[in-house]
Amino acid sequence: MNILVTGGAGFIGGNFVQYMVDKYPQYDIYNLDLLTYAGDLTKHREIEQKVNYHFVKADIADREVINSLFEKEKFDYVVHFAAESHVDRSITNPGIFVQTNILGTQVLLEASKKIGVSKFVHVSTDEVYGELDFDPTTFFTEDTPIQPNSPYSASKASSDLLVRAYHETYGLPVNITRCSNNYGPYHFPEKLIPLTISRVLNKQKVPVYGDGKNIRDWLHVLDHCTAIDLVLHEGANGDVYNIGGHNERTNLEVVKTIISTLGKSEELIEFVADRLGHDKRYAIDPTKLEQLGWKPTYTFETGIAQTIQWYLDNKAWWEQIICGDYENYFEEQYSV
């Protein structure tokens, strides 16, 4: 069984590749990644020698390269994570989001159709549904209309629609997953949780957008991996599955939890200008996936404690990132 994982040098794809290589020694796992600013192979030192792990450096939007790779390896399954993933970057530079997230997905779908893959799992996001208000009884279900608000979420929604069209028009066997905010090991330090941990540890101010009352629904990355594994093997052909663990927190609550766990002062918090078009609240109803047999193993409390400890134990990993090219981006974004 040959499985192609795109974006396997990134945060979630990287955790998924490690999970799959260990869990399924009988599968050949191909990690295809362009190694953009968000891709990093040092995370795979412990699996790179394993016989069932393979790495291919390629751009998912490069039709010729992708077609010849699919012809050669005859993948059985595709699990598609590769994307530009950061909302703030999509606000300042939307073009690359269209190129990678929309065109790149279409290139993969076409190659998958040509060789007849048995399953194409498209890893999407709850952000395609837009935003909820602060009424705690409302949730995103699989039937919630798609109403993306940022260039990032619009590009992901567009790719979801292409996946759906390849299923309806050509009969490609697909699933679409829509997960809430992930956190955990190897989360790139431009995103709220790893940014807060790294800045607190470096005694730097933590930028909180607006009033900090926006709500996200947090899920540990390993719970996302088990959900995708289940959908890959047991998802009903053509279906969408929402993924979330009922862990809603305001951004301010998240930042304060991290600061107090690290024993530092809340004076590090700095309220800064709000994100343009900042979605108020995301909250997932995961009932459909639970009915398939999935349940998360981490609460937010156990997951955030494990994650903070991981960042304490792996300072070299995130320091090499914030000291690289990323530093310029970071300084441009926040002159705090």
So which residues are the catalytic ones? 126-127, 152
| Binder of residue 188, out of ligand DAU, ligand NAD, none (CB less than 5 to 8 A by kind) | ligand NAD
Q: Are strands 174-179 and 269-272 parallel, antiparallel or unpaired?
A: unpaired
Looking at the Cβ atoms of 28 and 84, the one nearer to ligand NAD is: 84
Cβ neighbourhood burial of 137 (10 Å; 0-12, 13-18, 19+): exposed
Residue 73: phi and psi, rounded to 5, are -95, -15
Question: Which SS3 state, helix, strand or coil, does residue 159 take?
Answer: helix
Site for ligand NAD in 73-102 (CB under 6 A): 81-85, 100
To the nearest whole angstrom, how small is the minimum distance from the Cβ of residue 275 to ligand DAU? 6
Cβ neighbourhood burial of 173 (10 Å; 0-12, 13-18, 19+): middle
To the nearest whole angstrom, how small is the minimum distance from the Cβ of residue 103 to ligand NAD? 9
Stretch that binds ligand NAD, among 1-9, 48-56, 133-141, 305-313 (CB under 6 A): 1-9
Q: How many residues at the interface with ligand NAD, by CB under 6 A?
A: 30
User: Diameter of the chain by CA atoms?
Assistant: 57
x/- binding map, residues 177-206, to ligand NAD, per CB under 6 A? --x-xx-----x------------------
Six-digit token pair at 306?
């494990």
Identify the residue among 4, 5, 11, 53 touching ligand NAD (CB under 6 A): 11
Contact by Cβ (8 Å): 310, 185: yes
x/- binding map, residues 97-126, to ligand NAD, per CB under 6 A? ---x---x------------------x-x-
To the nearest whole angstrom, how small is the minimum distance from the Cβ of residue 312 to ligand NAD? 21
Site for ligand NAD in 301-330 (CB under 6 A): none
Q: Does the footprint of ligand NAD cover residue 66 (CB under 6 A)?
A: no
Tokens 């709000």 sit on residue: 274
DSSP 273: P
To the nearest whole angstrom, how small is the minimum distance from the Cβ of residue 178 to ligand NAD? 7
SS3 content of the chain, % helix, strand, coil (to 5): 45, 20, 35
* Residue 238, C-beta contacts closer than 8 angstroms, at least 6 positions apart: 164, 167, 168, 173, 174, 175
How far apart are alpha carbons 253 and 245 in whole angstroms? 17
Among 39, 52, 283, 70, smallest CA distance to 179 is for 283
Residue 281, beta-bridge partner list: 132, 215
Stretch that binds ligand NAD, among 4-12, 253-261, 278-286, 299-307 (CB under 6 A): 4-12
By beta-carbon distance, which residue lies closest to ligand NAD? 10
Looking at the Cβ atoms of 36 and 264, the one nearer to ligand NAD is: 36
How far apart are alpha carbons 194 and 307 in whole angstroms? 9
To the nearest whole angstrom, how small is the minimum distance from the Cβ of residue 135 to ligand NAD? 23
Residues that bind ligand DAU (CB under 6 A): 85-87, 125-127, 180-181, 191-192, 195, 207-209, 214, 216, 251, 275, 282
To the nearest whole angstrom, how small is the minimum distance from the Cβ of residue 251 to ligand DAU? 4
Q: Does the footprint of ligand NAD cover residue 7 (CB under 6 A)?
A: yes
* C-alpha torsion 198→268→301→287, nearest 10: -90
Residue ranges binding ligand NAD (CB under 6 A): 6-7, 9-13, 33-36, 38-39, 59-61, 81-85, 100, 104, 123, 125, 156, 179, 181-182, 188
